[in-house]
Structures are given as structure tokens and as C-alpha cells.
A and B are shown apart, each in its own frame.
Chain A
Amino acid sequence: MPVFQPEHVVQPTEPDELVHYLSDSSYESLILGGGTFIHGLVSRGFLGQIDRLIDLSRMGWSTVEQNDPGWHLGATATFRDVLESPLTGTPGAGALRDSLEYPPPQITNLATWGGSLASASPLFDIPAALYALDAYLRVIGRDGERSMDLDDFFLGHFEHALESDEVITRVEIPPLPGSSASAFEKWDTNANDLAIVNVAARMTLEADGSTCRDARVVVAGGGVSRPRRVSEAESELVGNPLSGESVERTSTAVEESLDQEGDLRASAEYREYISGVLAKRVLRRIRDRLTGEDSRGNHR
């Protein structure tokens, strides 16, 4: 097992400087955001030889801004930075607020948005919530800057579609109309656990205030290799009002549409069943948020 003893650290302050380091293949480099995932990988022997750390903390990417009409979350903004921003007070971003309530304060204060995504772990909470909001990434690399949908970004366990010379600069959240609401639920065994199952969803209503115009339903957690949209469930919602019947049908679609994996923490069947249960809870909270009746405080 390689010993984690990077010999070098660089702390770029400008994009050109950063891209230069990323493009330099004479070192095995590791990008440092908050760092909350790295020592855990080291202690489990999951990290190969690393020669150099590229520390992003001086890039000035820690801002959370309303960039009318959407939001820009800097790659090195912490979960705390976003939790305390006006963004999480809106019903449309309810899934983000929910997902940010799960990590303990020690993670909330240190983990970064870019790092949470770049880890490409289906076990994390934030990526599922962002996926339900149609968030996308801005990345820079040797060939310049580009946008990337989360659809294209997630490939599998710890695998993403960035090139080796690319890095996430920010997460962009498209406009969240007043007629939209979202929610997130996690199934875990303790306050510091990774997800057995995660479900996030978002709905946007037509002008009539009841018919669903657009929907996203996302399942993540230990039973899938990447956050997965469940189009069968979304089809049950779009064009219909959110009723007890549509909640049941959507829940069934979530339970039956994905072939999840089992492991020592939960069987595949258990995960699929719980996914359906969480889908009901998420949709009921969306309903409450759309009607202004969400008095729910802390999730636990």
C-alpha cells in the first residue's frame, strides 16, 4: 500500500497557473479542496502514490452568489457557506437545505462543493440534491472553460468525466421559479453514516398552480454506482396534480425501476423498498412546500 507522503504542495492563485500544474504529468497530483475525503481514502488504502498536492484554497472560489436568475456556488465554498446563504431559504432549493442538514458540523464547516462532486461518490448527499435541481458544472482545463451537465459528469464509483487537466470552478444552479419546490431524504444508521439510500426530487408547477410541468426524481446511495434519474417516476408526476394516487404511483416506480445492489449494509431488495418509502416522504414535503405548509424543522 503506498504511503501518503506527498513531497510537494502548490497553492496557485490564478487559473493559468492552476492549469499549468494540472497539465504537468511529471507528478502524480491530488487536488485539495476541503480535504474531508482524502485521509479516509488513505486510511483504507484506496489512494495510490501521490507526489504533489494542488491546494485550491487561494483561487478565490469560495463565494456563493445569486447570479440573476440562477446561483453560482464556488468550488471551494464550504457546505456552511451555502447553508447560511439566502439560497437555501427558497422552496425550490429545499433539497439542498435538506441534504445540508445531514452532515455533522465538522463536515459542514470544512467540506467543499467542488470536492463533494469531484469525489464522484454515489454515497454522498449533496450531489443527489444538485442533480435534482438540474445543476451543472463550470470547469477549466488546458483547452479553456466549459460547462458540463451532471448527467454527463457522473460515470461510476469514484469516476467522473473530467479530463486529468480539468478542475471544477463552480456549480451553477438554474433559476428556481416560485412555482417549484424540492426535497431530499437520506436513509442512514447514524449521524455520521454514508447513505444506504438517498432520494431527491423537484417539481415545478404550471400556471394553474396544481399541474406538474416538470419533475426530477433522483436515487443515490450505496445501491447505485452513480446518482440515477428515475424517468419512470418522473413520468408519473408530469402532467398530473400531486395527489395521494400520484405519490403512490411514483413511489412504486422508484421502487421497481432501478436494480440496486446489495452489500453488507443492506440487501438490494431492502434498498429498493426504502427508496420507495423515501420517495413518498420527499413528495409529501414538496407538496407542503408548494402550499406553504412545510413547518418541518430539523430532519432528525
Chain B
Amino acid sequence: MVTTVEVTVNGQERVVEIAPGSSLLDLLREELDLTGPRRACDSGGCGCCTVLVDGRSVYSCMMFGISVDGRSVTTVEGLGSYDELDDLQQAFVDKSAVQCGYCTSGMLMAGREYLDHREPGPAEEPEVREAISGVLCRCTGYQKIVDAIRQAADGEASSDE
């Protein structure tokens, strides 16, 4: 049996047929060819598969595909393009916040949720570290990632003024 899921992915309405037990990660990678969300631990331990559902981060390997029916999903492919990077992606470039790159899409999505939901004011390092606590960087290159998110926060805050 397959079940039909109607979901908005990166702004586009999609209709997908999946097996009931498929994860959201299966739906994105196998059905929609969106490979930005990485498959790594496949059990909610590493965060490489992080995407946003209705603006909030989830592990797409844990969430069932059927659970996004009628909802909106954003993957790293929906943040920006090669020609026009999202502010946070640009900050990662500016701060060299990428080492092996495997966690990068997860870090970007966790960082994007933080930027979109944080309280006004300076982005303090502890709260940024808490925001990305669900994504593991195996290169242990956290400091530049934190610096990049703080830079993006400062930039987005000043552009709001």
C-alpha cells in the first residue's frame, strides 16, 4: 500500500506517494531528489538530516513522511541559490564555517530556525550553541559555525532596524 502526501516543499506544492513507514528523509531524498538533508545515523542522533517543518527544525529521519501531509517543509535547497546565498549561508562562507561539510546542511537549518525565532537583542554564544546542540560536527569545528550564526544574526537584526 502507498499513501498520498500533499506537501509544500521549498515553496512548491508537491504530491508524493510513499509507503506508510517511510521517513520524511526518505520522502525528500528518494521521491523528490532533495539530497541536501543527509542520511547518516538514521536514528535521530546526528542532526545531518535536519529540515524545517512549518518553520521548526526536525530530524527528517525520525519524522514520518505521512506526518507532513498539508504542511510546509524547507530543506537547505530552499534557503538560497548558488547565485544568491541566504544570509546565513553567506555567513558560513565568510567565516569559513565548513570543514568536511557533512553536517553543514543540518547546521544551516538549525541556525535558520534560531534566527527566525530568537528574541530580539544580541545573539549570545550560549544560546547559539544551544540552538545547534542537535547537530554533531564530527570535525569539531563548532566555533566558526557559532561565529557565522552570530554574524548572520547581527546582520539580520541591523537590516530590521
Contact = CB atoms under 8 A, between A and B. Distances in A.
Given A9-B3, A106-B59, A298-B127, A39 B44 contact: yes
Nearest to B60: A106
Contacts of B127: 298
B36 interface: no
Interface string A87-129: 0000000000000000011110110000000000000000000
Q: Which of B57, B62, B63, B129 has the most CB of A within 10 A?
A: B62
A109 B58 contact: yes
Nearest to B55: A109
Contacts of B43: 39-40, 42-44
Interface residues of B, number: 35
B131 A39 contact: no
B88 to A, nearest CB: 16
Interface residues of A, number: 33
A39 B57 contact: no
A249 interface: no
Contacts of B15: none
Contacts of A36: 44, 59, 62-63
Given A36-B59, A80-B56, A106 B44 contact: yes
Contacts of B130: 298, 300
Interface of B: 1, 3, 19-21, 23, 41-45, 47, 50, 53, 56-59, 61-64, 66-67, 110, 113, 126-127, 129-131, 133-136
14 contacts: A6-B20, A6-B21, A9-B66, A40-B44, A55-B66, A80-B56, A105-B113, A105-B131, A106-B50, A109-B53, A109-B58, A191-B134, A298-B130, A300-B130
